[in-house]
Structure 1
Amino acid sequence: MFMLMRRNVVSMIGFIIVIAFLIMGIISPYILTKPEDAWGTTYDVSKRYLPPSLEHPFGTDEYGRDMFNRVILGARFSLIIAIGVVGLALVIGVPLGLIAGYSGGRTGTALMRITDMFLAFPPLLLAIALAATLGRGLENAILALAISWWPWYARLIYVQVNTVKSMPYVDAARVLGLGSFTIMFRHILPNALTPVVIQASLDMGSAVLEAAGLSFLGIGVQPPTPEWGLLVSQGWQSINVAWWISFFPGLAILVTVLGFNLLADFAREFMDPRLRITMMTKEVV
Structure 2
Amino acid sequence: MALATELSASTAPPAFAWLRRVGWLERIGLAGVFVITLVAIFGPFFVPYDPMLRVAAAYLPPGAAHWFGTDEIGRDLFSRVVLGVRYTWLPGLAVIGIALLIGTVIGVFAGMVGGWVDALLQRVVELFLVLPSTLIALAVVAALGPGLINTMIAITIFWWPWYARMARDEVRRIRARPHVEAARIAGVKGSRLMLRYLLPGAVPALAVAATLDVANIILTLSVISFLGLGLPAPAPELGAMTSRSVDSLTVYWWLPIIPALVIFVMSILANLAGDGIRSALRGA
Q: Please report the TM-score for the alignment, with normalisation by the length of structure 2.
A: 0.89
2:68 partner SS: coil
Whether 2:89 is the aligned partner of 1:75: answer no
Amino acid in structure 1 at the alignment position of 2:75: R
Equivalent position of 1:247 in the other structure: 257
Q: Which amino acid aligns with 1:59?
A: G
Separation of aligned partners in 2, 1:4 and 1:155: 28
CA distance in 1, matches of 2:100, 2:199: 13
Deviates more, 1:88-97 or 1:236-245: 236-245
Equivalent in the alignment of 1:23: 38
User: In the aligned structure 1, how far is the partner of 2:220 from the partner of 2:16?
Assistant: 30
Unmatched segments (≥5 aa) in structure 2:
1-14
* Alignment of structure 1 residues 112-127 onto 2, 5 Å: 112-127=122-137
Counterpart AA for 2:161: P
Q: Which amino acid aligns with 1:90?
A: L
Question: 1: distance between equivalents of 2:206 and 2:17?
Answer: 23
- State yes or no: 1:171 paired with 2:185: no
- Inter-partner Cα distance in structure 1 for 2:28 and 2:95: 24
Q: Does 1:110 align with 2:120?
A: yes
One-letter amino acid of the counterpart of residue 113, structure 1: R
Residue 126 of structure 1, CA deviation? 2.2
* Pairing of 1:85-164 with structure 2 (within 5 A): 85-164=95-174
Alpha-carbon distance in structure 2 between the residues aligned to 1:238 and 1:70: 18
Following TM superposition, by how much is the alpha carbon of 1:3 offset from its aligned partner in structure 2, in angstroms?
4.8
Distance 1:72 1:2 in 2: 31
Contact 1:102 1:184 in 2 (8 A): yes
- Mapped partners of 2:264, 2:16: distance in 1: 25
* 1:211-230 aligned within 5 A: 211-230=221-240
In 2, the alpha carbon distance for the partners of 1:127 and 1:5 equals 38
CA distance in 1, matches of 2:32, 2:117: 43
Q: Percent same amino acid at aligned positions?
A: 36
- What amino acid does structure 2 have at the position aligned with 1:200? A
Check the 8 A contact 1:161/1:192 in 2, yes or no: yes
| Alignment-derived partner of residue 183 in structure 1 | 193
The AA in structure 2 aligned to 1:5 is L
- In structure 2, C-alpha distance between the alignment counterparts of 1:211 and 1:130, rounded to whole Å: 13
Q: Which runs of 4+ in 1 moved over 6 A?
A: none
Tell me the TM-score normalised to structure 1 length. Answer: 0.89
Deviations 1:190-243 (A, max 9, x none): 101222111110111221111001000111222222121111112213223311
3-state DSSP of counterpart to 2:159: helix
Give 1:238's aligned residue.
248
Contact 2:30 2:276 in 1 (8 A): no
Bigger drift between 221-230 and 66-75 goes to 221-230
Deviates more, 1:65-74 or 1:167-176: 167-176
Letter of the aligned partner of 1:70 in structure 2?
Answer: R
Structure 1 letter corresponding to 2:91? I
Match of residue 14 from structure 1:
29
- How far, CA to CA, are the matches of 1:130 and 1:185 in structure 2? 35
Q: What is aligned with 2:269?
A: 259
Conserved? CA contact 1:160–1:192, under 8 Å: yes
- 2-structure distance, mates of 1:126, 1:164: 34
Give the aligned residue type for 1:24: V
8 Å CA contact retained: 2:54, 2:76: no
**Cα deviation code 1:107-138 (max 9, x no counterpart):** 00000100111001122222212222221111
Q: C-alpha distance in 2, partners of 1:156/1:123? A: 17
Q: RMSD of aligned C-alpha atoms?
A: 1.7
How many equivalent pairs are there? 269
Which residue type is aligned with residue 89 of structure 1? A
SS in 1 for 2:187: coil
The amino acid that maps onto 1:21 is I
